[in-house]
Amino acid sequence: GNSVTQMEGPVTLSEEAFLTINCTYTATGYPSLFWYVQYPGEGLQLLLKATKADDKGSNKGFEATYRKETTSFHLEKGSVQVSDSAVYFCALPSYNNNDMRFGAGTRLTVKP
Amino acid sequence: NAGVMQNPRHLVRRRGQEARLRCSPMKGHSHVYWYRQLPEEGLKFMVYLQKENIIDESGMPKERFSAEFPKEGPSILRIQQVVRGDSAAYFCASSPGGGHTDTQYFGPGTRLTVL
């Protein structure tokens, strides 16, 4: 079935550093790919998504490109802020679209 | 447009009691999903419902757990005779349709603690 493998955390960066969180997927066909963010004590918020190969999703300075050749959807941000500290989840729909399959999550801590 | 609403936000139960978790989807959304998140883990799918129908409950334990999404009112996740291992955050999500391009929007979660 469809699944994602996400870079293990935790990740600790200084403010203004470059961020990459790796995500690779296994899927039947070419489903949409998603990044969600979870702030402490809250639910998941959609960060960005891409619906087809070569699409780039972007939001709040974060970007991820749907790469079919490498089956990847890595999350990047050029300059992180303290407020970006959260847990980031890569996700895709199950093969029958009945649920979302999530990676284990990567905890990011940004220090001033 | 109000987002997905869940209540209560925090629920404490003693072993053997019942827990009822409620979820109101976003306006216009007819698809509801329940997930469970254990501490420091990702979300695990439990059940997918449309109005008055359970579409997929493959992720839900066979005993003590049930879910419904009536014609009127919120979706309910019910856990009977709770045990300590049920302590987790339970998230509800909704979407307008069920296709692979449809985004699921999540509620703030209900954090269940079983004493």
Phi, psi of A23 (to 5 degrees): -145, 125
**Cβ separation of A43 and B59 shorter than 8 Å?**
no
**Chain A residue with minimum CA distance to B4:** A43
> Residue B98 — pLDDT band, cuts 50, 70, 90?
low
**Chain B residue with minimum CA distance to A90:** B42
CB of A32 within 8 Å of a chain B CB? The answer is yes
Contacts of A49 in chain B (CB under 8 A): 103
Q: How far is A72 from A27, CA to CA, in rounded Å?
A: 11
Amino acid symbol at A8 = E
> Helix, strand or coil for residue A8?
coil
Structure tokens at B111: 């954090």
Q: How far is B95 from B26, CA to CA, in rounded Å?
A: 8
Q: What is the pLDDT of residues A5-48, one digit of tens each?
A: 998 889 999 999 999 999 999 998 889 999 999 998 888 999 99
Q: How far is A57 from chain B (nearest CA, A)?
A: 13
Structure tokens at B19: 């827990």
Q: What is the pLDDT of residues B19-30, one digit of tens each?
A: 999 999 999 898
Q: What is the pLDDT of residues A41-95, one digit of tens each?
A: 888 999 999 999 999 999 999 999 999 999 999 999 999 999 999 999 999 998 8
**Cβ separation of B59 and A45 shorter than 8 Å?**
no
Q: How far is A92 from B104, CA to CA, in rounded Å?
A: 11
